[in-house]
Amino acid sequence: MPYRKTILFKKIINDDWSNYDAQKLKLDLNPRIYTAEDWEAQYLVNILFKYFPKQSSYNLYKIVLQCGMIKNYQCSREEIIQFVISRLL
């Protein structure tokens, strides 16, 4: 992964995922697995918007959903973030 993508990936992974993790645990789901439910996609979009402020929320949401579909709606947090970043850069 090129340097810029690596830095962005680390920043996003190390961002505050505590509310996301708490919601997943409340639903008795593995917080490390992304399943592309509406609230999950929106959470990811909100985090991504911090790092890609020139992108519209709509465009970020569309990319997140497309990446989720390609990954069959179940993949690790790391996989979905890497895939989304690759689509944005």
- Give the pTM: 0.87
* Under 8 Å between Cβ of 64 and 75: no
**74-87 pLDDT per residue, tens:** 789 999 999 999 99
d(CA 64, CA 45): 7
**36-64 pLDDT per residue, tens:** 788 999 999 999 999 999 999 999 999 99
- Amino acid at the residue 62: K
* Under 8 Å between Cβ of 48 and 64: yes
Sorted by sequence, the CB contacts under 8 Å of residue 6 that are 6+ apart come out as: none
- Amino acid at the residue 63: I
Reading the block at residue 45, the tokens are 């979009």
Which pLDDT value is given to residue 68?
80
Q: Which residues pair with 76 in a beta bridge?
A: 33
